[in-house]
Every structure is written in C-alpha cells, then in structure tokens.
Amino acid sequence: MALQIITAPDPRLKLIAKPVDRVSEDIEHLMRQMADTMYAAPGIGLAAPQVGQPLQVIVVDVGNDDNPDQPGQLYMMANPIIEWVSDDTCSYKEGCLSLPDQYADVERPAHVKVRYVSEQNQEKTLTAGGLLATCIQHEIDHLNGLLFVDHISQLRRNMIYRRLLKQRRLDTTAN
C-alpha cells in the first residue's frame, strides 16, 4: 500500500527524526510500505519524514546499471549514520519526491561509509560511491530536517519554492 508523500514547504519536512529502538515488525512494515511508495512514485529514495513518520528510516534503490528502469539493490536502513566521507566530490542533478519536478545540481562527497540497522534488525556497514552515495546522503539529510535545496543558493532555492507554490495554487483551482 502506497503512503502519502508530503510536499514542501510542509513544516514536518524540517523536523529532526527520532532513532528507532529496534527494527520491529511495525518498522519493517513501514520500510516495505516506503519502498512500495518509492517505486510507485517513481523515485530512487525515500525517508520516513517524507511520509509523515519522524523516524530515522530510509529506503534506497538507485536501479540497475544494466537496465536503469529495473530495480537494483533495495537498501532499507534504520538509524543510518555516515561514518566516513571521501575528500573527492561529485555533482548530481538532484530531485526529490517532496519537491515534485524540481531539480538542481548539488555537490556532495563522492563516496561514503554508512552504518545502519537492516530490516532484519542487524547492524550493517555499506561503502557506496556515485549515485548510491549521493542518494544515501540525500535521504539522511531528510532525517536531519534538510532538503536538497538547502545545499544550493538562496536565490535558486526561492525560485524552486515559488514554482512549487504556484503549481499548488494551479492544482487547487483546477480541482
């Protein structure tokens, strides 16, 4: 069952998420619902605050390099913590399910090492690079009340928010 994705400028997106004590059946169920929602959107990552749950839970699947339209490796993470970032950086044109149809180039560390608790309640570590590293950092930002637009200039950010508000007004008058 797909969950409702919150869109900016909803203040719930700026809240800092709480850690989960353990990955219980309820948390695993939330992770699976989030994955279904992410795939249906379609997107490559989703954080619990984006679906109204202020919990440190993210799901990420950047696709399959051989066939980008097919799912790749699904990562379901509770309490993800970035333990290391590379000195080298890369830039991706980022978008966000909470800022529909808005994109901007964001520069982030090219590689990260993240520690997290899996859906089986097991502590794991993942070293990631490229798009996967960018996506993990993007989703962890959501857990800290940050959006990708917080990494760009205020002028560009304001333009994006104005476009979102204009689209929301158009959608409201159309209904």
Pairing assessment for the beta strands 75-85 and 111-117 based on DSSP bridges: antiparallel
Give residue 109's Cα distance to chain centre.
Answer: 16
d(CA 136, CA 46): 10
Which of 28, 94, 107, 139 is labelled catalytic?
139
DSSP 3-state assignment of 80?
strand
d(CA 89, CA 161): 26
- Is residue 139 part of the annotated active site? The answer reads yes
According to DSSP, the residues that pair with 2 across neighbouring strands are none
Tokens of 106: 């964001």
d(CA 98, CA 132): 19
Closest-CA residue to 15 (of 141, 172, 151):
141
Closest-CA residue to 89 (of 68, 111, 69, 67):
111
Residues that are catalytic: 139
